[in-house]
Amino acid sequence: MTCPSLLRRTALGGAREGHAQLTQGFRLLSALRTRLHQDDAGAQFSRYVVVGVVSSALYAVAFIGLAGLGDQPANLVGALASTLLANEMHRRLTFHAGAQVSWFTAQWEGGGLAAVGLVATSLALAGVHTLIGDVGTVAQLGLIAAVTGAIGLVRFVALRSWVFSSATASRE
């Protein structure tokens, strides 16, 4: 015997609601995609953060993988690998400057800015080891993330106004 409540339901009622929610979700994603492809500071900063997360993940993998060699060598290799990736992603994705700024220019100028970050993270690691001693990999990555985040804000302004400024100005 069929339950009386099942007889009162329409066959497509739930499907229509699901389709409407799915359509609304696609509209929101499309609007977000359109917004993030613009070249104003807000959209660029959003893309900058995404690139920072991706390159930081590469840094963390390199740092953890090479931690057996010591903190400073692991920091150096992680910083170099993540900087190369981040500079190229900033050139192509963050600032849409792939045609205006060469790979070498982006690496040279962006890498110079990243060198400040490498010095700061190296000093922070050395300072923690001097003051506290060995704190473990997770704590070191947290320290590096905090220092890198602070320097990242300054780096965004420098990249936007110096390295990729002509590409940005020509597109506006």
* Span 146-162, average pLDDT: 87
Q: Please indicate, yes or no, if residue 9 is contained in any of the structural domains.
A: no
Query: Which range marks the domain in which residue 57 is found?
Result: 39-171
pLDDT score, position 23: 87
Number of domains in the chain: 1
Q: How far apart are CA 116 and CA 44, in angstroms?
A: 22
pLDDT of the residue at 144: 86
- Residue 75, judged by CB atoms within 10 A of its CB (0-12, 13-18, 19+), counts as buried
pLDDT digits (tens, 9 = 90+) for 15-68: 677 778 888 888 888 888 888 888 888 999 999 999 999 998 999 999 999 999
22 inside domain: no
- Hey, what are 141's tokens? 């990555």
Is 67 within the bounds of a domain? Answer: yes
Which of 10-14, 74-78, 88-92 shows the lowest mean pLDDT across its residues?
Answer: 10-14
Residue 14 resides in a domain: no
- Whether 13 maps to a domain, the answer reads no
pLDDT digits (tens, 9 = 90+) for 40-53: 889 999 999 999 99
pLDDT digits (tens, 9 = 90+) for 95-149: 998 888 899 988 988 888 788 888 888 899 899 989 998 888 888 888 988 998 8
pTM for the structure as a whole: 0.69
Predicted local confidence at residue 167, as pLDDT:
52
- Residue 138 included in any domain: yes
Any domain includes 33: no
Is residue 20 included in any domain, yes or no?
no
Q: What's the pLDDT score for residue 14?
A: 58
